[in-house]
Amino acid sequence: MKAFFEHQYPVGHLEIDLHSRCRPSSIMMFMQHAATIHSQIQQISRDQLVESRGCFWVLSRAKFELYEPLVLDDKLELRTWCREAKGVTWNREFEFVKDGKIVGGASTLWVIAEMESKKLVRVTSFPNLDELTHPEKPSLVEIARLKPEADLGTLGIRRVVYSDCDINQHLNNTRYADILCDMLDLHLETERYVSSLQINFVDEAMPGDFIEVSATAENELGTRYVCGKFPDGKLCFEAELSLTNSPYMIRI
């Protein structure tokens, strides 16, 4: 069983923002693609689990960190592996390599749920965990508990639309990153890039749902807590985003 999967992702015009930097959602798309292909190789992909077990993957938390920005024409070497599986959770890790140098990493926390009941499936039901996981290789990123350290201010209300949704009939995890960047007016950030982003996916958002997005003011580290709530006050997601000065001139 292949414990690691590596793939190169070119940063093209479809992946960049108006400042020629790779969008956070594009980074998450690269991660999502690599995780999907690796799970197919390991025979635990969504389609394989649906067919064999009547269950599917659910992303619970995701965090990436970049030591420098990814920009147009960069070639990202992405490496992923399942580090650990215990209880009902699976940890999938990532390394980001550019020009032979590690420029960042990511950590994700997944669960598997039954299609009908949505009941979580314990990892002990998989007899070949030793072949599927690689606990000896540590994560580059630590997923932290999130909480606002200051008062929240409302940024706006976002409706979940057709182009936001995926095969699971809900808001795709990568689109949360776009919503955050839109609501935080990151088009104004000409000198800084998103160096860290963690999203905790609390409750699924469906087409037509409205999400009220709120955030704290930026602290001295360039970090803001952001959350989204449904009209009834129920939490949809919470996140933490950090901005850092870019060492590069913007490429036009």
pLDDT along the chain (252 residues), means of 10: 89 97 98 95 89 90 97 97 92 97 97 89 82 87 94 97 92 96 96 97 96 97 97 98 82 48
At what angle are helices 24-41 and 173-183 packed, to 10 degrees?
A: 170
How many residues belong to the chain? 252
Model-level pTM? 0.93
| Max CA separation in the chain (angstroms) | 52
The pLDDT of residue 247: 81
Residue with tokens 């958002």: 205
Half-sphere exposure of 185 (CA within 13 A, CB side): 6
Q: Phi first, then psi: give them for residue 195, nearest 5 degrees.
A: -90, -20
Q: Is 177 exposed, middle or buried (0-12, 13-18, 19+ CB in 10 A)?
A: buried
The pLDDT of residue 123: 83
> What count of other Cβ atoms lies within 10 Å of the Cβ of residue 25?
22
The pLDDT of residue 243: 98
Which CATH superfamily includes the segment(s) 4-245?
Hotdog Thioesterase (3.10.129.10)
The pLDDT of residue 131: 83
How far apart are the C-alpha atoms of 130 and 139, rounded to whole Å?
18
Q: Is 53 exposed, middle or buried (0-12, 13-18, 19+ CB in 10 A)?
A: middle
* Residue-wise DSSP of 35-103: HHHHHHHTT--HHHHHHHHSEEEEEEEEEEEESS--BTT-EEEEEEEEEEEETTEEEEEEEEEETTEEE
> What count of other Cβ atoms lies within 10 Å of the Cβ of residue 74?
20
CA distances for 12 relative to 74, 152, 173, 201, angstroms:
8, 36, 21, 28
Question: What are the tokens at 26?
Answer: 């594009």
Domain spans of the chain, in order of start: 4-245
Beta-bridge partner residues of 82: 92
The pLDDT of residue 250: 53
Long-range contacts of 182-185 (CB under 8 A, 24+ apart): 182/158, 183/155, 183/156, 183/158, 183/213, 183/215, 183/226, 184/155, 184/215, 184/224, 184/226, 184/241
Which of 70, 90, 88, 68 has its CA nearest to residue 29?
A: 70
